[in-house]
């Protein structure tokens, strides 16, 4: 038993030395073990622009978000993070909703125990209505963004984190294709 304790201590010391020599932190190791291949980021933004098949254009920081995909024919999906702090944002352009925020909130309240909070943020060249729900271990944000050009984008975001700033930053760089605001982040 004593030899096992010494061997384990030596192994942990070797791992700690290896991490310090490679420049990795304990947090990087945990994100690698529990979060897949998105465990490192750069402090310098690396922006890219992507046009969805549904008429939505998004400028995203490749350090924070994976390349967008079309989750369904009418829904652009942007995901980021890892299992410790996962976020998914769905962007949809449709005229099927009579009241997107009320309908979405009602569906969520019927299936889970939630707490509703007022939520607000601004998007260039648009009017925003938004609401946030605390769903226990994750948060959900619904937003209806009515752009000055006359088009509406519906956003649903689910986050396993309490940091909403990446979602807001992303939404401030989303617009209907062909109606690009001049305030969008610079794309490299």
pLDDT 10s digits, 128-148: 999 988 877 788 899 999 999
Under the banding of pLDDT at 50, 70 and 90, the label for residue 37 is very low
Q: Which residue has the higher pLDDT, 28 or 180?
A: 180
Is there a domain that residue 181 lies in? Answer: no
* Residue 40, domain member (yes or no): no
- Same-domain check for residues 156 and 89: yes
Are 146 and 170 within one domain?
yes
Two tokens at 119? Answer: 């939520």
Is 151 found in the same domain as 63?
yes
Q: What's the pLDDT at 90?
A: 92
CB-CB contact of 42 with 63 (8 Å)? yes
Q: Whole-prediction pTM value? A: 0.74
Same domain, 58 and 89: yes
The number of distinct structural domains making up the chain is 2
- Predicted local confidence at residue 4, as pLDDT: 59
Q: What is the pLDDT of residues 68-100, one digit of tens each?
A: 999 988 999 999 987 677 899 999 987 677 788
What average pLDDT is seen over the chain?
79
High-pLDDT (> 90) share of the chain, %: 31
List beta partners, residue 70. 76
Classify residue 9: in a domain, yes or no: yes
Confidence of residue 45 (pLDDT cuts 50, 70, 90): confident
Q: 28 and 71, same structural domain? A: no
Angle between helices 26-35 and 2-22 (to 10 degrees): 100
Within this chain, do residues 60 and 135 fall inside the same structural domain, yes or no? yes
Which residues does 175 contact at the CB level (< 8 Å), separation at least 6?
56, 57, 125, 126, 147, 153, 181, 184
Q: What is the extent of the structural domain holding 138?
A: 47-176
């Amino acid at each position: 038993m004593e030899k096992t304790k010494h061997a384990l201590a030596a192994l942990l010391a070797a791992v700690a030395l290896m991490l310090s020599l490679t420049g990795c932190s304990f947090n990087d190791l945990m994100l690698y073990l529990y979060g897949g291949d998105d465990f490192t980021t750069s402090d310098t933004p690396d922006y890219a622009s992507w046009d969805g098949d549904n008429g939505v254009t998004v400028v995203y920081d490749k350090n924070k978000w994976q390349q967008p995909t079309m989750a369904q024919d009418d829904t652009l999906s942007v995901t980021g993070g890892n299992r410790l702090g996962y976020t998914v944002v769905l962007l949809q352009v449709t005229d099927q909703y009579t009241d997107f925020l009320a309908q979405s909130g009602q569906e969520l309240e019927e299936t889970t125990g939630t707490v509703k909070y007022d939520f607000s943020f601004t998007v260039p060249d648009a009017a925003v209505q938004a609401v946030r729900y605390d769903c226990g271990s994750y948060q959900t944000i619904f937003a209806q963004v009515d752009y000055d050009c006359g088009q509406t984008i519906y956003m649903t975001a689910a986050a396993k984190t309490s940091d909403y700033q990446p979602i807001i930053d992303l939404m401030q760089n989303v617009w209907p294709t062909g109606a690009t605001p001049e305030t969008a982040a610079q794309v490299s």
